[in-house]
Structure 1
Amino acid sequence: MPTVRQATLDLLRSLGITTIFGNPGSTEMPFLDRFPGDFRYILGLQEACVVGIADGYARASGQVAFVNLHSAAGVGHALGNIFTAQRNQAPLVITAGQQVRSLLPNQPFLGATEAANFPKPYVKFSIEPARAEDVPAAIGQAFRIAQRRPCGPCFVSIPADDWGRPCEAPVPRILSADVAPDPALIGQAAQALAASRRPVLVAGPEVDQEGMGPAFVALAEAIGAPVLTSPFASRIAFPEDHPLFAGFLAAAPQAVSDALAPFDCVLVVGAPVFTFHVAGEAAIFRRGVPIFHLTADGDTAASAPAGTSILGSLRFAIPALHAALPEMRRTPPPPRIAAPPPLPADPIPAAWLLHRLHLAIPENAILVEEAPSHRPAMQAQMPRTRWGSFFTMASGGLGYSLPAAIGVALAKPDQRVVCLIGDGSMMYSPQALWTAVQHGLRVTTVVINNGGYGAMRSIGQAMQVRDIPGIDLPGLDFVRIAEGMGCPAIRVTHPDALDAALREACRAEGPMLVEVVVDAAIPTLYHKA
């Protein structure tokens, strides 16, 4: 009989998983002993980085990523990005070491109390198997659940002495990840869209996640309706140079209601109805406007405050709705007016930096963003036009996007990855740069340094609160931080030096960081609540 370790490695091979993301400790050493040559180990210097890297890899590759963390403290370090992985619908199987079984009754050093409960509720499945011989089957079950829509992280705690125990190899299994929507509800949505005079579509990240971008564009063109991107979309939802693209919904109830007020039917595809960040009145929910909602996320469907949610994979729902529509001949909406190019100034305006960065990056570059205070300017100056070309976090939790950019680059080694990140965000996971250096990844990190938490300044202004402590961040030197981990870096303080620095960073064979000191003016994120 094989050992638990041998059976697990064979299971991973059968699933096509030969990359392990981890940060090792003593309780993981029996698993990592004599590490097999056909696997690669991606080391992150802190567990939050490890999960962020794995998340980016999973989302960019479309595969389940396998993570190996260290006992309770390591899982605790990672929990912020586990929460983000759940909101991102990133398929991860997270394993963590546990003390040997004979010591567990006596509260041992590095023992995890109620290990399976620790990451809940932000994992889809969590277990510490009752017997060592059940470990490979539990890991196989975690893989199947992680990739069932909506995708998400799963967790298995494994006592250190389990790996050497004999077991039977789990029987290979296949589980369909997709379910079809109710045909009757699809017919109702098609009838409502055909009868409406001014329909509108709201698109979300599930469209790109399921690889249904071209099919969704064809659906939008058949309906002939404008398309808005949902609030806080964590991926591209619709090509932002398409004639039907109408802009972005803000995460504020009044702003959403105002944007949707001119329309008599709303189709939401692959997004919640709706994500809000500030309180307010959403009159759209009381006006009786028909809202139809296509999603594979049952919790999102159940929590929608209005409308008809049609549960099912977009792989089935979008073609089914398209096929149910009669031919429609609507006058196309007027084209969206593009934002004018900003002008240079000293200090550097953030919008001008983003305009110049858009011109500097390669056409096939992938943008990974964590600069929330500058997202409206980024959306105006850096339109995303290709499917798979944009990632950010759906949770709002900082410390995700720099490690995620490393994971995206590992999944897409032939493409330039640009991490656009604020100075506050950069300080959550700067050690991810070390992993980029070790693997020679083509990651360009652009730090927007406005001297503080710009999003907090903006939200404070919207909420009419003042004199908030802990917002300013003086004295940070991102060039020295990067160079200390072996990553070349340059600091830009004047507009005349910006273009050359961005060109150099975007042509570097390995990772490079550019810190740009920008005007600290407070951007407007939302209307007042």
Structure 2
Amino acid sequence: MRSDGTMVTVREATLALLRAHRMTTIFGNPGSTELPMFRDFPDDFSYVLGLQESVVLAMADGYAQATRNAAFVNLHSSAGVGHALGSLFTAHKNQTPLVVTAGQQARSILPYDPFLFAERATEFPRPFVKWACEPARAEDVPAAIARAYHVAMEAPCGPTFVSVPVDDWDRMCASIAPRAIASRNPGDPAALREAAETLAAARRPAIVVGAGVARDDAWHEVVALAERHAAQVWVSPMSARCGFPEDHPLFAGFLTAAREPIVASLDGHDVILVLGGPMSLYHVEGFGPHVPEGARIVQIADNHGMLAWNPASTGIVADTKLAVATLLDATAPPVRPTPAMPARKPDLDGRVFDDRYLLQQIARLRPADAIIVEEAPSSRGPMHDYLPITRENGFYTCASGGLGHGLPAAIGVALGRPGEKVIAFLGDGSSMYAIQGLWTAAQLRLPVSFVIANNHRYEALHHFGRHFGLQDMVGTNLPAIDFCALAQGQGIPATKVAAAGDLDAALTASFTATGPTLIEVVID
């Protein structure tokens, strides 16, 4: 219903709602049950086509993180949702706000098990969505999408899901007025006062930063808090974002996702403030204590579940930016000596042409405002050593451990951060999970430098296999993949580099290009 009292179609009401919430970019790969949504598609909307639904959802994930607003995704019934489930799992772990819709067959034929319908549609994407709905009536679709948006945006953010029968879009309904809902939680004042007093009284405090620092836009506040308390800053295990400049004198390093190394790294700190993420995220079995002896853990996060299982002495549910601002308003602590910085890794000369040298040269040659999107699991350690992230909102990676996120996420980030260079540092195995994303980057002429470290195998599994004492890793070799041919076949200029002497020129050309490029780097 418009302001003059006339009814509108479900499609018109939904598009008006999306417009009001700044969701005019739709990511999809359409099927027959979705087509009526796009009748008379408005000029102020854009449709970003991906060639497979997992790519579509990962592009939307990167876009939503870059814009700090929920992205709208349109999938094809059960088949499309099934294709996208791996990326949906990653978006769930990334705490990315997404409104995911999928087509459903017409209501009148649902009793007959029709072709391409979604049986138990709302159950299929669980548990990786916060809320799921197939509205009981066509006229309820706009209200369901409105609720999906607000639930997705409420901390902890995450994907939501709405199944829409194909004949709903042309039905008539009343329009729905958009609502503004304030949901940022500043935290319990008494608990934050106690946390501030605990931190001020510490002999040797430390701070552990998780991805929530970046999600909550708390970079500057955390830097100020660390400097105020002369506290060493560690990055939580497997953090998908950067919450502190890695060239800062107080930066101490990265916690390993295992119990004993975490305790060893933090040993000697009497108060450990954990912000925006877990301190104790494990990838392998461990034994012994979860925290250093005598240490008090104060954790601030937007996730009740995380606080429930982390070994925190005090847990506070809050928006990181607002909570740290409160901590900064507290009484100043005593002057403490500045801790010594960790030793810097020696420069490499390229005689060994490995991922360490490649990452060192990317760091040296990248534009100052470049954004790094990474999915090269076996190179994460060398990246920490040789490619420091030094700018706010300058790093994105996958929180789930699943592959196929990085390449399309880089496309979404580039769409959400127009005018900024994006460098996608990818492994060869990771790239093949979403290689058709290159086509979208080419069509949109996005300034993404895809740098693929090609070691001809799933190197991360070789590292992990040694943990289990395996001598022969079955099914891990990847010979005879020509990434340059794959890129050129989708419209992207590509260069292969197999020697250190050719690397700098290739990187420089790619980093100064205005459109997408790909460099395949064959490393030892």
Q: What CA distance in whole angstroms lies between the structure 2 residues aligned with 1:48 and 1:252?
A: 30
Match of 2:389 among 384, 387, 404: 384
Question: Is the CA contact (8 Å cut-off) linking 1:373 and 1:454 kept in structure 2?
Answer: yes
Q: Superposition pairs for residues 90-109 of structure 1, below 5 Å?
A: 90-109=96-115
Q: CA deviation at 1:143?
A: 0.5
Q: CA deviation at 1:336?
A: 2.4
Q: What CA distance in whole angstroms lies between the structure 2 residues aligned with 1:449 and 1:177?
A: 44
Match of 2:493 among 470, 478, 488: 488
Tell me if 1:229 matches 2:231. Answer: no
Deviations 1:236-257 (A, max 9, x none): 1210111111111111111101
1:274 partner letter: S
SS at match of 1:283: coil
Distance 1:342 1:282, change over 3 A: farther
Q: CA deviation at 1:463?
A: 2.5
Q: What is residue 255 of structure 1 aligned with on the other side?
A: 261
Q: What CA distance in whole angstroms lies between the structure 1 residues aligned with 2:306 and 2:389?
A: 25
Match of 2:327 among 317, 321, 324: 321
Q: What is residue 429 of structure 1 aligned with on the other side?
A: 434
2:437 partner letter: A
2:411 partner letter: I
Q: What is residue 86 of structure 2 aligned with on the other side?
A: 80
Q: CA deviation at 1:465?
A: 2.3
Q: What CA distance in whole angstroms lies between the structure 1 residues aligned with 2:334 and 2:290?
A: 25
Match of 2:221 among 208, 215, 222: 215
Tell me if 1:309 matches 2:315. Answer: yes
Q: What is residue 122 of structure 2 aligned with on the other side?
A: 116
SS at match of 1:154: strand
Q: What CA distance in whole angstroms lies between the structure 2 residues aligned with 1:44 and 1:296?
A: 32
- After superposing the two structures, state which structure 1 stretch, 115-124 or 276-285, moved more: 276-285
Q: CA deviation at 1:327?
A: 3.1
Q: What CA distance in whole angstroms lies between the structure 2 residues aligned with 1:503 and 1:218?
A: 35
Q: What CA distance in whole angstroms lies between the structure 1 residues aligned with 2:288 and 2:521?
A: 38
Match of 2:32 among 19, 22, 26: 26
Match of 1:198 among 187, 194, 204: 204
Tell me if 1:397 matches 2:402. Answer: yes
Q: CA deviation at 1:181?
A: 1.1
Distance 1:335 1:186, change over 3 A: same
Unaligned residue ranges in structure 2 (runs of 5+): 1-6
Q: What CA distance in whole angstroms lies between the structure 2 residues aligned with 1:502 and 1:407?
A: 22
Q: What CA distance in whole angstroms lies between the structure 2 residues aligned with 1:219 and 1:398?
A: 35
Question: Is the CA contact (8 Å cut-off) linking 1:261 and 1:284 kept in structure 2?
Answer: no
Q: What is residue 61 of structure 2 aligned with on the other side?
A: 55
Q: CA deviation at 1:359?
A: 1.5
> Under a length normalisation based on structure 2, what TM-score does the superposition of the two structures give?
0.97
SS at match of 1:145: helix
SS at match of 1:419: strand
Deviations 1:69-98 (A, max 9, x none): 110000000000111001111111001100
2:148 partner letter: A
Match of 2:160 among 154, 158, 166: 154
Q: CA deviation at 1:263?
A: 1.1
SS at match of 2:8: coil
Q: What is residue 295 of structure 2 aligned with on the other side?
A: 289
Q: What CA distance in whole angstroms lies between the structure 1 residues aligned with 2:309 and 2:36?
A: 44
Deviations 1:40-61 (A, max 9, x none): 1000000000011000011011
Q: What is residue 176 of structure 1 aligned with on the other side?
A: 182
Q: CA deviation at 1:305?
A: 3.2
Q: What is residue 522 of structure 1 aligned with on the other side?
A: none
Q: CA deviation at 1:169?
A: 1.1
Q: What CA distance in whole angstroms lies between the structure 1 residues aligned with 2:321 and 2:372?
A: 25
Q: CA deviation at 1:462?
A: 2.1
Tell me if 1:361 matches 2:366. Answer: yes
- After superposing the two structures, state which structure 1 stretch, 353-362 or 170-179, moved more: 170-179
Q: CA deviation at 1:288?
A: 4.4
- After superposing the two structures, state which structure 1 stretch, 149-158 or 307-316, moved more: 307-316
Matched positions, count? 518
Tell me if 1:343 matches 2:355. Answer: no
Tell me if 1:132 matches 2:131. Answer: no
Question: Is the CA contact (8 Å cut-off) linking 2:228 and 2:332 kept in structure 1?
Answer: no
Q: What is residue 275 of structure 2 aligned with on the other side?
A: 269
Question: Is the CA contact (8 Å cut-off) linking 2:276 and 2:320 kept in structure 1?
Answer: yes
Q: What CA distance in whole angstroms lies between the structure 1 residues aligned with 2:294 and 2:51?
A: 52
SS at match of 1:96: strand
Q: What CA distance in whole angstroms lies between the structure 1 residues aligned with 2:417 and 2:303?
A: 27
2:464 partner letter: I
- After superposing the two structures, state which structure 1 stretch, 385-394 or 166-175, moved more: 166-175
- RMSD of aligned Cα (Å): 1.2
Q: Superposition pairs for residues 462-477 of structure 1, below 5 Å?
A: 462-477=467-482
Sequence identity, in percent?
48
2:190 partner letter: A
Q: What CA distance in whole angstroms lies between the structure 2 residues aligned with 1:145 and 1:224?
A: 38
> Under a length normalisation based on structure 1, what TM-score does the superposition of the two structures give?
0.96
Question: Is the CA contact (8 Å cut-off) linking 1:186 and 1:324 kept in structure 2?
Answer: no
Question: Is the CA contact (8 Å cut-off) linking 1:58 and 1:64 kept in structure 2?
Answer: yes
Q: CA deviation at 1:198?
A: 1.1
Question: Is the CA contact (8 Å cut-off) linking 1:256 and 1:282 kept in structure 2?
Answer: no
Q: What CA distance in whole angstroms lies between the structure 2 residues aligned with 1:341 and 1:432?
A: 34
2:135 partner letter: P
1:65 partner letter: A
